[in-house]
Amino acid sequence: MELGMTNVRLSEGITVVEVTGELDVYTAPSLRERFVEALSGDEVRLVVNLNGLDFLDSTGLGVLVGGLKRARARGGELIVVCSTERLLKIFRITGLTRVFRIVPDVASAQALLADRAALAAQPDPDAETIGWHWVPGRIYLSDELDHQAVADAAERVVAAFGLEFAHAFPPVVGSWFGEFLIRLKNSGQLPTKEEQFVKLSRALDLRLLDRQQAEVDAAQGAAVAGLIQSLSNTPRAIVQIGSVLLVKVDEVIVVRNLTQLELAHWERNPALFRDPAAALQELQQATSNGAELEPTAGAGGQETASSSGRFSD
C-alpha cells in the first residue's frame, strides 16, 4: 500500500500532516521530505496525524524522530496524533512515549499547542539524545528458505551481547526482509550498547578470519559463528544489528561498524538495506578516503573484509 500525505494549514499557524497507508523503508523518505518542506518557513509547529496509518516500521519511526529533532532545533514542536493501540505499542516499547507528545485527535493537539504551560510542564529531552534507548535491526535475504534459522541466529547474537529484540515488525516475503527494534536488556548496565557493537563487530571480524581471541567470550563467539553459518545457503544477505552491518554477496562477506555519519546516510537511503550488491558497493566506496577493503581468505574459504572509514557526505 502506498503512503498518502495531506497538509492542512490551521488558523493558528499550525500545519497538520495527515499520514495514511504504510510508513516503511520505501515510503519513509517521502515523509522526511514533507517535514523538511513544512519546517522551512516561519511556522514550526507540526501536528502529524497517524490515525489513518496502517503500518509503521523502524525506518518510519526514525523519520518521525528526525522531524521532532528538526522542529525543536528551530524552537518549534511536533505533536503526534495516534489512537491506534497497535501503533501506540511500538511507541511504548521504544520508550518514545517519553519523547513525543502523543494525543488521540487533532483537536487535542491544537489545545496542547495553545497551552504554553502544558507544553512547558512536559519532558523536553535534548534533541541529540532522542532515541538513544533503541536501535534498529534489519535482515534481508535474497532467498527466504532459511529465514527462520537466520532470524534465530541473529536473536542469539543480540542476546549474547546483552541486548534483546524488543519488537519484530511483520516481514516482507518473496525474498525476505525483517525489521526489529533492539534495546539493552538493562539500560543502566555497562558496557554501553555502543561498546557492545564495537565488540560484536570485532567478534565477527575475528570469526570471518578464523581467529580466536580472549576478548571474545565463548557464548559470544558461538553466537557469532552461528549467525555466519546460518547464511551459508543464502547467496545475498544483509544483517544490521544497531551500528553493525554485515553484507554478503555470493562468497564475499563484509562487516562494518558504521559511524553516526554513516548511519545517517544509510537511514536517508533505506533501499540499500534491501540491495546487497549496492550495499557492498556503498561500503567499498566509503573507504576511498581511508583503508581499502581488501578481501582475504576467511573461514570456510569465503572472502571477507572489514574497515572503519567514513562517508564523505
Does the residue 313 lie in any domain? no
Helix (H, G, I), strand (E, B) or coil at 266: helix
252-257 sheet: strands from edge to edge: 163-168, 176-184, 135-141, 236-241, 244-249, 252-257, 303-306, 296-297
In terms of phi and psi (left: phi > 0; alpha: psi -120 to 50; beta: otherwise), the region of 291 is: beta
Looking at the structure, tell me whether residues 118 and 150 fall in a common domain. no
311 alpha carbon, distance to own chain's centre: 18
Shared-domain flag, residues 159 and 299: yes
Residue 116 shares a structural domain with residue 171: no
- 54 falls within a domain: yes
- CA–chain centroid gap for 33, Å, is 18
Which position has the higher pLDDT, 144 or 186?
A: 144
Q: What is the tens place of the pLDDT at every residue in 192-211?
A: 788 889 999 999 988 888 76
Give per-residue pLDDT as tens, 208-255: 887 666 556 888 889 999 999 999 999 999 999 999 999 999 999 999
Number of structural domains the chain divides into: 2
Which residue in this structure is represented by grid cell 544509510? 266
- For 290, the domain range is 135-306
Average pLDDT, the chain: 84
Residues 293 and 175 in one domain: yes
**Residues 158 and 279 reside in one and the same domain:** yes
Q: Is there a domain that residue 32 lies in?
A: yes
Burial class for 174, CB neighbours closer than 10 Å (0-12, 13-18, 19+): exposed
Residue 12, in any domain of the structure: yes
Residue 55, helix vs strand vs coil: strand
Task: Indicate whether 68 and 181 sit together in one domain.
Answer: no
Rounded CA-CA distance 237/139 in Å is 7
Distance of alpha carbon 6 from alpha carbon 49, whole angstroms? 10
Report if residue 224 sits inside a domain.
yes
Asked whether residue 311 is domain-assigned, the answer is no
Same-domain check for residues 188 and 284: yes
pLDDT tens digits, one per residue of 114-152: 887 777 766 555 544 455 567 889 999 999 999 999 999
Instruction: Give the separation between CA 300 and CA 251, rounded to whole angstroms.
Output: 10
One-letter amino acid identity for 301? G
Tell me the H-state helices in the chain.
Answer: 28-38, 58-73, 85-94, 106-114, 116-121, 147-160, 193-208, 218-230, 260-268, 276-286
Does a structural domain hold residue 312?
A: no
Residue 217 lies in a domain: yes
Kindly indicate the confidence band of residue 107, based on its pLDDT and cuts at 50, 70 and 90: very high
Q: Could you tell me the three cell numbers for 57? A: 516500521
pTM: 0.71
Provide the pLDDT for residue 167: 84
106, 129, 152 - which closes a domain:
129
d(CA 297, CA 101): 52
All three cell numbers of 74:
528551530
Closest by CA to 296, choosing from 201, 213, 233, 206, is 206
- 44: domain CATH number is 3.30.750.24
Do 211 and 116 fall into the same domain?
Answer: no
- Is the domain of 122 the same as that of 141? no
Q: In this structure, which amino acid lies at residue 200?
A: L
User: What is the predicted pLDDT for the residue at 295?
Assistant: 42
Segment 281-298 mean pLDDT: 58
User: What's the pLDDT at 99?
Assistant: 82
Residues 69 and 90 in one domain: yes
Q: Is pLDDT of 300 > 50?
A: no
Angle between helices 58-73 and 28-38 (to 10 degrees): 10
CA pair distance 206, 213, nearest whole angstrom: 8
Last residue of a domain, one of 129, 154, 173: 129
Which H or E run includes 161? none
Question: Do 186 and 86 fall within a single domain?
Answer: no
Instruction: Tell me: do 206 and 124 sit in the same domain.
Output: no
Q: Which of 129, 157, 191 is the last residue of a domain?
A: 129
CA distance 251 to 198: 24
